[in-house]
Structure 1
Amino acid sequence: MSLDLFTAFHSEHLWLKFTPEDLAKATAMSKECSPNGSQYQGLLNAISSICLLQWLNITYPNINNFQWEFDHFNLLSIWEFVNGTSFMINNNSSRLILLPQESQDLTEFNIPQEWVDIPRFCGDYFLPVHVDLDNNWLRFWGFSSHEKIKKYASYNDNFAEYSLSEYFVERDLSLLFIFEKYALSSQPKCEPLPILSSQEKSNLLLQLNQTNSLTIRIRLNFVQWAAIFSDDIYRQFLYQQCQPISLGAWLNHNFKEAYAQGWQHLRDLVDNFDLITDSPSFPPNGIVMRSGEINLQYIYQIQDEQQLKIAAQRLSVLPPDSIHKHQAIQALDYIMTKSHDDDTRWNAAEGIWRLEPNNPNAGLWCGKRLNFGVDVGGFSFALVIGLLPKSENENSIFFRLYGINDSHTLPHNLKVNIMDENTYIFKQLEARNDDRLLQYKFWGKKGEYFWIQISCGSSQLSEGFII
């Protein structure tokens, strides 16, 4: 890559043009961040960092040891929660914080508090960059110092960030390296933060469960959050907690990731909460009991899809201790293979699950208890996901949400949004008075993402999944 093809100068700013190969590399770097917004934040940081390093290698080939401060896994856990990428200059003597943004407003730039007030992450210099992904351009519009941020920037407590006016941004990037070479800028002064015990940090992690990763940093006060964020072990653990659950792993009987995030097999969850109690009651018409056996002859002769659905519904309510259990499972297995209707197959699968939870045709059912806390009267919920193969490249998903309280009802103001990976809402559900559950069936292709967002009053929880 030649310098004249890579860079362009416009007014007093440095512009860098990136290639499709650069973008592909950045996309690969950031794809392990969660797709609820953190992945995009990671992409902006990755493409800015890649191009900055390329430009420095061309423009300042003799610069001393300019490099990423963190390895790939630590970078991911930082980008998951906080915008910015740190580089070390001159054999780790100074830290440069790269701060990408999509906004074209260059009157000020925002600096997350983590890069200013946490001693371990405290930056010496801050480099804002405007990213234009549509036209493959980066616009580096100067740099500033820690000293200027602490002296002149305004602080927003709601977003835990500083905002610095353009008047305190030095436009000439070459001065950055002159300042560094001759130590013309004072060293940042970061006050030490209180140290929290491991038990205190573990308790804080419980408060952050099911919180969107882009807002998780403002759920705690800054001292508490800084203790979590600056600890590699706790930050990595929190990063893993924010990643979408892989439903494909469930089909391969790999539940390690799910267990770590509080999921259980439904049969274990049901031991504590009577969840599957709302199946309709159907008279056994057409399922004739004779001499202790079920006459299933008519079921195996059914060709009509609607009749298969009725048969599945009626067989699915057979109690687990029925003497007809074995014959019912065989009939439900037959319906599973015969029917092409999702509702019918789910009725059959749920019936098999009640009779024999480990049966391969029962589908995979897992649940997780969600706590909203005191904001909504201490309400707890059980989120249940059922998974059933639909075709070689598609899976059916059955979502259910139960209330866990004395009346087993959901609060009437509870809302559920089911969203795709671009946060487009393709289904909205809302609880009415005395509703015991909300449920919805849908299907998706393997590798697609979806998100379930649950709102109750001012409280909100979300869970992400990869099909």
Structure 2
Amino acid sequence: MLSLSDFVNIDTKHIWMPLETAKQEEAWQLSQHHSNTIARYNAYLNRVCLSHLLSWFQEWLREESTLQPEVFPSQENLPSLLEIVNGTAIKVGEARIVLVPTETLDIEELRVPQEWVDINSWAADYYLSVQVNLDEEDDSWMRVGGFVTHHLLKNQGSYNDSDRTYSLPIEQLSENFTLLFATLGLHLQADIPPEVTLSAAEAEKLLQTLSDASIYSPRLLDIPFEQWAALISQEQWRQQLYNRRLGREQNTAATESTATVRTDSPPISVQLSQWFQEVFAVGWHPIHEALNPQIGTLALDVRSSSTNKKPSVHGVKLIDLGMQLGGKSLALMLALSQEEEKTGILVQVHPTGNEKYLPPNLKLILLESESPLQEIKSRGRDCYIQLNYFKGLPGTKFAVKLALDNFSMVEYFSI
């Protein structure tokens, strides 16, 4: 049986590295947070590859430039990616590099999942073929076999409809990694059509279909790739899919002393800037989709702020207060207006259905970094309550809290 040192002496063209036990153990622990055995092993394989190559890039760049490699899109987003697709990405400045690991012993081709090639926000400049040997009875090692540009892969690679991948013979990969680092920052991508836009209703329908954890490869279901790409390219919807496949759907938990809506994962912010492109997070609906018997006519009754500026976008979400309202819901509404560099925001709460008034003592609270900035409480015959109109710059984060008796829930937003 050949050892790693034997391989290194035989094959001097490629990059070989031993696998560190500590990084393997950490990858194994992190990989347990997935819905099935296939997803868990895929996460383990990819995390081992990513952690070692991230260190390798850091060492290389330390001497060559001031750039630092970063996990794309972020460490926090890795679970939702690894639940559904093979491969991880590293960002160096404006360049993106996708790592595609495989345990195949005799690699004949590089096979890249279509998501990393045909989704604009995921597409990379370079794709690395990485062979990983996780055999504990032998030396554990990795071999970087070469790389290819997006332009070459897209134009000369073969598309495989059966597994939605682009493939290229291993002989066509470049082995000159000095060239890769020398060309970082150049735009090496072929043109890609923009993603289609899904409505919140279409996204919800897809999420219901794909959330079954017994479906080991949701990306290969008989769903047009354009719809799949539109769903997972939106961080909020992809996180929703991950949470649902793990049974982490938001739920109402009641005890003798308190009841609250909670999740096992960090809160996901609703991206309000996307509303102006008619992209709404799951659970939220634009005004024209919210006109139904459950919500009634309240969506037509959006009060203007004291500025007399007509809001240009409205979003509505039904909030279930559980036992506090006998199973009835309230409607949380946000009206947005664009005012120069800032976004104006008006927050209201309305009753739904045939109800004319809100329940007394319902609190509507504006939070910033968990600290209250505004608070309004309903009285006996209030048809609605609203916060004072406010504005924020892009990137501003805030939250809105609803509280009634022992119940409370919080919605998080980012402008």
Query: What TM-score does the superposition give when structure 1 sets the normalisation length?
Result: 0.49
d(CA) in 1 for partners of 2:41, 2:141: 16
RMSD, aligned α-carbons: 2.9
Tell me the equivalent position of 2:156.
152
1:243 matched to 2:246? The reply is yes
Q: Deviations over 1:26-72 (max 9, x none)?
A: 22232212342111111111111111122223333144121111223
Contact in 2 for aligned 1:101/1:131 (Cα 8 Å)? yes
For 1:105, the equivalent position in structure 2 comes to 106
- Residue 146 of structure 2 is aligned to residue 142 of structure 1: yes
Match of 2:369 in 1: none
- Which letter maps to 2:90? F
Structure 1, unmatched stretches of 5+, are: 259-467
The 10-residue stretch of structure 1 (68-77 or 110-119) with the greater mean CA deviation from structure 2: 68-77
- The question of 1:79 aligning with 2:82 is answered yes
SS of structure 1 residue aligned to 2:79: helix
Distance 2:241 2:148 in 1: 31
Q: Quote the Cα distance in structure 1 between the aligned partners of 2:226 and 2:55.
A: 36
Bigger shift: residues 211-220 or 237-246: 237-246
> Cα 1:122–1:209, aligned 2, differ >3 Å: closer, same or farther?
same
Question: Partner of 1:186: helix, strand, or coil?
Answer: coil
In the alignment, structure 1 residue 232 sits paired with structure 2 residue 240: no
Counterparts of 1:20 and 1:211 in 2: how far apart (Å)?
A: 30
Determine if contact 2:58/2:69 at 8 Å carries over to the other structure: no
Equivalent residues of 2:36, 2:216 under 8 A apart:
no
The amino acid of 1:118's aligned partner reads I
Give the aligned partner of residue 392 of structure 1: none
Name the residue aligned to 1:191. 193
CA displacement at 1:144 relative to structure 2 = 0.4
Residue by residue, what CA displacement relative to the aligned partner does 1:154-191 show, whole Å, maximum 9, x if unpaired?
Answer: 1111211111111220012222111226x3x6333221
Query: For residues 212 and 110 of structure 1, do their structure 2 counterparts lie closer, same or farther at Cα, with a shift above 3 Å needed?
Result: farther
- Residue 178 of structure 2 is aligned to residue 174 of structure 1: yes
SS of the aligned residue for 1:54 comes to helix
Residue of structure 1 in register with 2:166 after alignment: 162
Residues of 1 paired with 2:243 and 2:98: CA distance?
24
Q: Cα distance, 1:201 vs. partner? A: 0.9
Q: Distance in 1 between matches of 2:239 and 2:81?
A: 9
Partner of 2:115: 114
Q: 1:244 to 1:211 in 2, by over 3 A?
A: closer
Matching residue's letter, 1:172 = N
AA aligned to 2:84 is: F
Structure 1 residue 143: Cα displacement: 0.5
Deviation at 1:214, TM superposition (A): 3.6
Corresponding position of 2:224: 221
Between the aligned partners of 2:190 and 2:91, the Cα distance in structure 1 is 14
CA shift in 2, pair 1:158/1:212, >3 Å: farther
1:257 to partner: Cα distance: 7.1
How far apart are the structure 2 equivalents of 1:209 and 1:34?
10
Distance in 2 (CA, whole Å) between partners of 1:59 and 1:119 is 28
Q: What percent identity do the matched residue pairs reach? A: 30
Equivalent residue of 1:53, what SS? Answer: helix
Instruction: Give the structure 1 partner of residue 70 of structure 2.
Output: 67
Residue equivalent to 2:57: 56
Change (3 A) 1:176 1:238: same
Q: In structure 2, what is the equivalent of residue 205 of structure 1?
A: 207
Cα distance in 2 between the residues matched to 1:245 and 1:205: 13
Amino acid at match of 1:208: L
DSSP-derived class of the 1:191 partner: coil
CA distance in 2, matches of 1:193, 1:165: 28
| Corresponding letter in the other structure for 1:156 | N
Alpha-carbon separation, structure 2, partners of 1:82 and 1:133: 20
Q: CA deviation at 1:96?
A: 0.4
Which residue of structure 2 lines up, in the alignment, with residue 327 of structure 1?
none
Counterpart CA distance in 2 for 1:39 and 1:195 is 30
Q: Shift of the alpha carbon at 1:125?
A: 0.4
Classify 1:150/1:245 alpha carbon distance in 2 versus 1 (closer, same or farther; 3 Å). closer
Q: Is this contact kept in 2: 1:122–1:188, CA < 8 A?
A: no
Cα distance between partner residues in 2 of 1:195 and 1:245: 26
Secondary structure at the residue paired with 2:86? Answer: coil
Distance 1:176 1:57, change over 3 A: same
* Partner AA of 1:221 in structure 2: P
Which residue pairs with 1:26 in the alignment?
A: 27
Structure 2: runs of 5 or more not aligned: 265-415
Q: Aligned-pair distance for 1:215?
A: 1.2
Q: Distance in 1 between matches of 2:38 and 2:248?
A: 16
Q: Distance in 2 between matches of 1:206 and 1:171?
A: 44
